[in-house]
Amino acid sequence: MLKRILFLFAFVIFHQTYAQETSPKPIERPTPPVSSSGAVKIDGETINYTAKAGTMPLRNENNEVIAHFGFTSYTKEGGASDRPIMFAYNGGPGSSSFWLHMGLLGPKRIAVDDPNFNKAAPYQIVNNDYSILDIADLVMIDPVGTGLSVPAGEAEFKDFWGVDQDSRSIALFITQYLINEGRMNSPKFLLGESYGTFRNATVMNRLLNQGVAMNGVIMVSAVFDLRTLMFPPDDDIPYIVNFPTYAATAFYHKKVQGNWNNMDSFVQEIRTFTEEEYMPALFKGDQISGADKQAMATKLANYTGTKADYWLKADLKVTASEFFAEFLRDEDKIVGRLDSRYIGHSFDGIAQNGAYDPQSSAISPAYIQGFLHYLHNDLGVSKNQMYTITAGRRPGFNWDWSHAGNGGWGGSMAAINTGPDMAEALTKDPNMKMLVLNGYLDIATVFYGVEHSLNHLGLPKAVKDNITMKYYEAGHMMYTDMASLIKVKEDLSEFIKGALN
């Protein structure tokens, strides 16, 4: 009897193992690009363009196809081969590029009721008067696992899901696209949002090391040092760099008493206070006197429209999630993480952290449904093809946060920083320009964190002068605010023209 049981057990194990080894890999099919024509009107000028949406075979260094890489491109009809070309992507990691596509760069724009909650469909898909297509052709990139991008051959999703794996595949795509389309001699620009800026820092350096130089790199809502977001134990940096955004939020919502001409002047005062008073207080730890701690708690409360007792209980240190749960607690509301102009109802009046992001809830249905309608009906992508909004929905999604550029144990650190990659590229190519767009009211990737990162790269002054900072009274996706959208377009146009001189 025992022998029979052992035999059956061995048979089951063998069968399962054999089945795993021999079961066919899911067939990942390419989506051949579909071409269409369109027109966008910008500043009274009509730009006729050819759009392509689909996938391109992506080859590795051994010329083996490793992915069907998804993209949407817009090329001006009759444009010269040396016309500027911009490659753009969102972040996540694991997000497709539809946010930037339909919010800022493409020929069509999703019109949202900013900063309010949008009603259900129908949504407005309008001519994008502020598209980049009047000064550059555009390629929207969907990293593998997002959009229509899938692995091919022997490759698997996990081969693309990581800091270095991701930047390698993006650099391969950009290089091969330029070759395929005869655009290697065109002026080249990168634009990334959120994690896309973290990616930019590595991609710009990787491309440069492969002999492909960028004329300019645009960082939208940037983060380079993940410490600024993670609040690791015994690290004062994230508390220091997040505080100015808490204060800016209070200023926007008129919770601060005082006379300032505008947001810029208020934020400058907060920068000075943070550097000269708040930072030294935190550095003292438990050596700060009771009187000094009380005085500091009062100042923190006054600048953020909260209570001194709250800051005392928090030991003068409040995380981003704690702040947007606390700020409007007395009104049973919370503010947005991505954009603190947005306000939502609280699920739990005593919760320590915010349960959801009002900004994301307010605009996501409009962007997702509006883009999918545009993709399948205007761009003509087959309705049998599933466009993946985020790789996070795929089984087994797990990001590898190790990074060779940080050294240490196989490049693995508690918090990864791609700033050194960016510094290397900017120093090796002193002609490369960089533009950083910051939302004062973005609690996801805080503007003061970007300033701290850039100020600690050790760049020569001549190189540092190639970096331009712009600020907006809005959040992570500052372009949802109409006044900021107009200013973003002006800033992008000025930057691109300047980088070409």
Give the pLDDT confidence of 308-365 residue by residue, as tens digits. 999 999 999 999 999 999 999 999 999 999 999 999 999 999 999 999 999 999 999 9
pTM for the whole thing? 0.93
Question: What are the distances in angstroms from CA 483 to CA 102, 130, 322, 325?
Answer: 17, 11, 29, 27
Band of residue 18 on the pLDDT scale cut at 50, 70, 90 = very low
Sign of the dihedral through C-alpha 56, 59, 64, 70: negative
Half-sphere exposure at residue 151, Cβ-oriented, CA atoms within 13 angstroms:
15
The mean pLDDT of 378-383, rounded to a whole number, is 97
Residue type, 221: S
Same domain, 42 and 130: yes
Contacts of 109 (CB under 8 A, 6+ apart): 102, 103, 125, 126, 127, 128, 130, 131
pLDDT the model gives residue 6: 32
C-alpha to C-alpha distance for 422 and 454, rounded to whole angstroms: 10
Domain with 332, as residue range(s), is: 234-359
Judge whether residue 416 has pLDDT over 60.
yes
Of 323, 338, 359, which marks where a domain is finished? 359
Q: With contact defined as beta carbons under 8 Å apart, do 435 and 216 qualify?
A: yes
Whether residue 321 is found in the same domain as residue 223: no
- At 16, the pLDDT band (50, 70, 90 cuts) reads very low
Question: What is the spatial distance between Cα 501 and Cα 489, in angstroms, rounded to a whole number?
Answer: 19
Is the peptide bond preceding residue 57 cis, with omega within 30 degrees of 0? no
Alpha carbon distance 102, 97 (integer Å) = 9
Instruction: For residues 134 and 157, state if they share a domain.
Output: yes
- 493, 373: one domain: yes
> Residue 404: what pLDDT?
85
Please tell me whether residues 344 and 453 are part of one structural domain. no
Nearest 5°: phi and psi at 422?
A: -65, -45
pLDDT of residue 235: 95
d(CA 426, CA 463): 7
Q: Does residue 19 lie within any of the structural domains?
A: no
d(C-alpha 267, C-alpha 269), whole Å = 5
Could you tell me if residue 348 is inside a domain?
A: yes
Please state, in angstroms and rounded to a whole number, the distance separating the CA atoms of residues 349 and 331.
9
Has residue 15 been placed in a domain?
Answer: no
Mean pLDDT to the nearest integer, 209-235: 95
Task: Decide if 11 is inside a domain.
Answer: no
Partnered with residue 412 across adjacent β-strands are: 409
Whether 355 and 368 share a structural domain: no
Strand-pair partners of 216:
189, 433
Are residues 379 and 317 both part of a single domain?
no
Q: What is the mean pLDDT of residues 457-476?
A: 98
Per cent of the chain over pLDDT 90 is 90
Residue 135 CA: distances (Å) to CA of 42, 43, 79, 375, 483: 10, 12, 10, 23, 21
189 shares a domain with 83: yes
pLDDT in tens, 103-143: 999 999 999 999 999 999 999 999 999 999 999 999 999 99
* 52 plus 133 within the same structural domain: yes
Question: Cβ(252)–Cβ(263) under 8 Å?
Answer: yes
Q: 368 and 352 in one domain?
A: no
Instruction: Indicate the residue among 323, 341, 359 that finishes a domain.
Output: 359
The pLDDT assigned to 413 comes to: 52
CA distance 203 to 93: 14
In a domain, 12, yes or no: no
188 part of a folded domain: yes
CA angle at 296 for the pair 264 and 235, rounded to the nearest 5°:
85
Q: Nearest to residue 252, comparing CAs of 360, 351, 115? A: 115
- Report pLDDT for 268: 98
Q: How many domains does the chain have?
A: 2
Give the end of a domain, one of 359, 386, 417. Answer: 359
% residues pLDDT > 70 (the chain): 92
Closest CA to 376 of 36, 12, 15: 36
Band of the pLDDT at 5, cuts 50, 70, 90?
very low
Q: Looking at the structure, do residues 319 and 451 belong to the same domain, yes or no?
A: no
Residue 22 has pLDDT above 90, yes or no: no
Q: Give the integer Cα–Cα distance in Å for 340 and 183.
A: 41
Report the CATH number at residue 409. Answer: 3.40.50.1820
Same domain assignment for residues 85 and 69: yes
For residue 27, what pLDDT is reported? 53
CA distance 49 to 134: 10
Residues 359, 115: contact at Cβ < 8 Å? yes
| Residue found under tokens 């220091």 | 240
Alpha-carbon span 286 to 137, nearest angstrom:
56
Q: Are 466 and 214 in contact (CB under 8 A)?
A: no
Where would I find the H helices in 76-145? Answer: 98-100
Is residue 338 one of the residues assigned to a domain? yes
Domain annotation covers residue 22? no
Task: Band the pLDDT of 278: cuts 50, 70, 90.
Answer: very high
Q: What is the pLDDT of residue 81?
A: 87
